[in-house]
Structure 1
């Protein structure tokens, strides 16, 4: 039974979901060397931000297939090393969206109305109304850096306060920003026009330290800054100096470059114009349950060999895209298997044509599924949705995609053409009612095959007795025939016989079939994956 290590306890529902299929070990956060000692026996690991999955840990992980991050950030995981090893990294980008959004707004309101300081004064027995005069959000401009899942939800809620929402995000379109009611601007404009600035970007090389002394100098006097994203985005020493001088009126901070935050690393420890929290943006009962369940589902999907929408080192899949392409993953992998059995030579390239509803959506994940099916039977290393394209690139396999409105025989089809040094072959598949998969063409032959099990493909002369002779050879070898059909081709006088059998065909049978007069070729096709 496959094993999963969890670095700290998770929600009961998630644990029960995994324990139905796997051996689950609830452990603790381990240092790098300690983790290296145990990771070799595990197929999956689920962690939070406290445990770092480094290159050294990944290289010690002989059986590891998936790393699950119970949260949004992946900055503690060596993504490049995981990808090279074909290890899928999944996170939970949506489960704590609302919790993080609401906490950012809570910090904003706290530094607007001096709530933590007023509370403390009451606790100390004082009644000091004059010291805690705040401002209103009404008609203020808020600059949102990162208008993604959290940032867009923050914008929506602050618009209800009648705030002007401007945003800096080089990765969303003007159309999307207009839908959100956010005016896209460059970073300098945002810094100069905002009464409030709230950060909602991941930590990348591009965003690390993006708010430092130079950026603070461009801000309005008396600006208020909120960071509930990642600690290392802000230079806290520069921020502390700006808070002390009054350049920045107040700041609300939930995240830190080094956690837990120790007193000697806290430059705000004596300041009264800050609201500080210990990385609790996602700490709601609802978010914690959602994060745990979602990461457990993602880990299970990877261990089942299925595509995962939240895999951060595979082709990205949105929910809307997944609704369209989900039914096609299995048949795409199967036609990859079929094509490699047809190939008969060294692969130089593949061309995939998508028609119908698939022509209107992103199909890169389906092409990855085809590559997975194509390469898995011929390589010793595991091939999955993370490394399939990288392996194809290493082998100089050219990959091309085309899309057309309608297929030749059916509306919604996937056609794979595989090019080798021995020639090319083509497989076309479709789905009936988005459920029933069929192979409808093999090379230039029309067929109607269910892509399951093992079958023989034998082009032959169109003359009497061919089916009987093939059946006689198979029967003599004690091979049971499950199905048989004959497909016509564009070439006059040539048909193709597709014979489904109940077990794999011994290679010794192939010469006997080829000896039948009129049989032009014999291919053994394996559809399972």
Structure 2
């Protein structure tokens, strides 16, 4: 008999899926205190939550029989993934269930914005008849910039095409081939923003996407542009948006998510007549709530019954011996994938993962998925996991190949990633040192040897006297300390690369300042 504890309100259809399985007891207890939760989970084989229950390390430790935690939704911020993984507890989510709901809400916001529907409705309810005041614009013939071409962004783009819109798509992993198949024009983010009549964002909130639409990019837009955010609060700089609205540099905005929720009563966004605000309703449809509840319920049952499952957010269950052997390589593989995403100049279309020596004898299936999780996690965050990583690669048009070699030229064990983008080929390689963990040992053909962790600065530059000093002085002037350095070159006076470990994360302003140093052809901030 398996006991499943449900501690948040999920759709009845999800509960019915759980209750319909023989030898399963479903215990629904919502609004528990932490003390009550610690007691209730002691005999549970599975825990099902939404966003209210905080599943911390203590809760996971108290679940002595716990095998799986199911999150009826996408985000898993309320679950301690590290603690779950250490205890061998699988965490699964339901990333697909609200895709259509979010895409439709985006379009509802866009149409409402174009035709002034909320404002006209308020006027009419107030006894006014202002036909002339609320003249709108058509979507047909307009240009929509979709920033983030994941599942939801793709669904929005498809609907926009039906409405006769031209779609500019921006995504670090959008290839020309996939853009063409969707009828989307691939563009840089600045090209998309500057050319758009409507802008909609569909990225996760990460360091790279925080304030993706800020003062600088709002200075590029047409004064007739209308901006929609049904993704994550913080992708748009709300203060900068308010300034642009007040100065009539933006024609309107529709927001479903905010930097701080619930939205404060005195927030300046509330003062604008041409702004539409909804209280985070993107996934709030009957169908979406049923979909995520059913999806997570089915996967929880699959896990308990030892059947194939989907949407694992952390490492799928391994026995103690497998964990001990594979864990260090998984850390190396994910960090290499993340590093590759940072240095990629354009969307990768082909990738070869080569396992050499001792690494070649490990479970390549897990390792390749982990490389892809690191690569795509840079952009898609919560949407990407160990199970769906290969599907993400397929949908993005990324062809993945594995190569195994018994002996390496230099290292007894190595994982290397070679990938092709529109702008050329890149290669990164790493190995394991027992005394110092994962190390980066190759970068685009240059020999490197340093820990693959922390905050890094990567540059390509002309190999000439004074370059290292110029960059060091620049960082010193910005009060950024250097903890380690590696330099690689093939010939004196040619191209060289430099990788610095620094004491804190580097802002876009810092990168822009370093880019001004004469002789630098590329500079990247990397966080691992």
TM-score range for the pair, normalised by the shorter chain length: 0.5 to 0.7
CA distance in 2, matches of 1:177, 1:84: 40
C-alpha change, 1:67 and 1:210, in structure 2 (3 Å) is farther
CA distance in 1, matches of 2:238, 2:53: 23
- In structure 2, the residue matched to 1:293 is 294
C-alpha change, 1:172 and 1:56, in structure 2 (3 Å) is farther
**Structure 1 position 107, deviation (Å):** 0.2
- Residues 238-291 of structure 1 deviation map (CA, whole Å, 9 limit, x = unaligned): 222222222221111112334333424x33222211111122222222222211
CA distance in 2, matches of 1:30, 1:210: 38
C-alpha change, 1:241 and 1:27, in structure 2 (3 Å) is farther
CA distance in 2, matches of 1:130, 1:221: 21
- Residues 65-124 of structure 1 deviation map (CA, whole Å, 9 limit, x = unaligned): 322222233344444443344332222222221111111000000111100010111111
- In structure 1, the residue matched to 2:276 is 275
C-alpha change, 1:209 and 1:59, in structure 2 (3 Å) is farther
Q: Please give the TM-score of this superposition, normalised by the length of structure 2.
A: 0.57
- Could you say what secondary structure the match of 1:237 adopts? helix
Are 1:92 and 2:86 an aligned pair?
A: no
- Could you say what secondary structure the match of 1:131 adopts? coil
Task: Report if the CA contact (8 A) 1:223-1:248 is conserved.
Answer: yes
C-alpha change, 1:176 and 1:367, in structure 2 (3 Å) is closer
C-alpha change, 1:311 and 1:137, in structure 2 (3 Å) is same
**Structure 1 position 59, deviation (Å):** 5.0
- In structure 2, the residue matched to 1:447 is none
- Could you say what secondary structure the match of 2:270 adopts? coil
- In structure 2, the residue matched to 1:216 is 218
Task: Report if the CA contact (8 A) 2:8-2:53 is conserved.
Answer: no
Runs (5+) with no aligned partner, structure 1: 316-328, 337-347, 355-362, 369-384, 387-399, 404-416, 418-529
C-alpha change, 1:63 and 1:128, in structure 2 (3 Å) is same
C-alpha change, 1:95 and 1:191, in structure 2 (3 Å) is same
- In structure 1, the residue matched to 2:76 is 74
- In structure 2, the residue matched to 1:454 is none
Are 1:7 and 2:7 an aligned pair?
A: yes
Runs (5+) with no aligned partner, structure 2: 323-356, 370-385, 388-400, 407-528
C-alpha change, 1:26 and 1:59, in structure 2 (3 Å) is same
Task: Report if the CA contact (8 A) 1:143-1:197 is conserved.
Answer: yes
- Residues 305-362 of structure 1 deviation map (CA, whole Å, 9 limit, x = unaligned): 44432112348xxxxxxxxxxxxx9xx99xx9xxxxxxxxxxx9586799xxxxxxxx
Q: Please give the TM-score of this superposition, normalised by the length of structure 1.
A: 0.57
- In structure 2, the residue matched to 1:192 is 194
CA distance in 2, matches of 1:220, 1:31: 51
CA distance in 1, matches of 2:246, 2:33: 37
CA distance in 2, matches of 1:32, 1:208: 32
Please list, as runs of the form range in 1=range in 2, the aligned pairs for 1:248-397 lying within 5 A after superposition: 248-264=250-266, 266-314=267-315, 364-365=365-366
CA distance in 1, matches of 2:255, 2:79: 23
RMSD in angstroms over aligned alpha carbons? 3.5
Task: Report if the CA contact (8 A) 1:227-1:254 is conserved.
Answer: yes
**Structure 1 position 209, deviation (Å):** 3.0
Task: Report if the CA contact (8 A) 1:143-1:168 is conserved.
Answer: yes
**Structure 1 position 56, deviation (Å):** 5.5
Larger Rg: 1
C-alpha change, 1:25 and 1:261, in structure 2 (3 Å) is farther
Task: Report if the CA contact (8 A) 2:198-2:227 is conserved.
Answer: yes
Task: Report if the CA contact (8 A) 1:10-1:292 is conserved.
Answer: yes
- Could you say what secondary structure the match of 1:132 adopts? coil
Equivalent in 125, 134, 143 of residue 145 of structure 2 = 143
**Structure 1 position 51, deviation (Å):** 3.8
- In structure 2, the residue matched to 1:177 is 179
- Residues 181-224 of structure 1 deviation map (CA, whole Å, 9 limit, x = unaligned): 11222212222111111111123333233222233223222321
- In structure 2, the residue matched to 1:18 is 18
Task: Report if the CA contact (8 A) 2:8-2:52 is conserved.
Answer: no
- In structure 1, the residue matched to 2:456 is none
C-alpha change, 1:186 and 1:80, in structure 2 (3 Å) is farther
Task: Report if the CA contact (8 A) 2:47-2:70 is conserved.
Answer: yes
- Could you say what secondary structure the match of 2:271 adopts? coil
Task: Report if the CA contact (8 A) 2:228-2:255 is conserved.
Answer: yes
CA distance in 2, matches of 1:28, 1:262: 28
Task: Report if the CA contact (8 A) 1:139-1:163 is conserved.
Answer: yes
- In structure 2, the residue matched to 1:160 is 162
